[in-house]
Amino acid sequence: MRLTVLGCSGTFPGPDAPCSSYLIEAEGFRLLLDLGSGALGSLQRHVDLLDVDALVLSHLHGDHWLDAAPYAFTRSYHPTGPAPRLPLLAPGDARDRLALAQGGVDSVDRAYELRALAPGSAEVGPFALTFARMSHPVETYGVRASYNGRTLAYSADTGPTGALVELARDADALLCEASFPEGADHPPDLHLTGSEAGAHAAGAAVGRLLLTHIVPWGNPRCTLDAAKSAYDGPLELVQPDAHYDI
């Protein structure tokens, strides 16, 4: 499968990066993981607006879902006519949140076939997906996507948790948030530092660590160096429009 980074900025868009959004493709099937602020623009550089087959929203903080609201309008009122309803897997109150952001439920219901996320497994197109609750203030799910013997794990947003280690166990790649700087007294159950992301990757014995969700005022080089101190496998900071063969 192929991973394309549409957006990787944490909390708010940076000068060169929209917020979290990742496109996974296999057998011509296109699955979006999150669609944060600004990512709908990036999507158009890679695929046609209507050529998405499913969308997963890991949680309902705006930097992971807000562009799903204008995307509902896009799919409902496209000049070629309404697109087929898109499977949307998201926490249970997604419909209400989308309706508030979009100004009503009409385009939301026309655009999306909503399915409530829960811990467990699901088949979406060619992908076998596994969802696990992460350590974050709102209902949040990490995602494990497997296809043809290859596996990508995605942390979503989380503080330190053994659930992420188990979700990512032996994955070929872990796409992991690393929002917090080292050495500060951070709130619990919110985000990871670079060294914590590295420690989770090492504990899960993943093949590669892809660091993401760096806040625009952060220090990416320090985050990368901190992750290297805890994980000795291949790792890098993802960039918008980067492609990875998993």
Residue 26, CB-side half-sphere exposure with 13 Å CA sphere: 19
Contact 77, 107 (CB under 8 A): yes
Express each pLDDT in 38-97 by its tens digit.
999 999 999 999 999 999 999 999 999 999 999 999 999 999 999 999 999 999 999 999
pLDDT at 33: 98
Express each pLDDT in 102-152 by its tens digit.
888 888 999 999 999 999 999 999 999 999 999 999 999 999 999 999 999
pLDDT at 183: 87
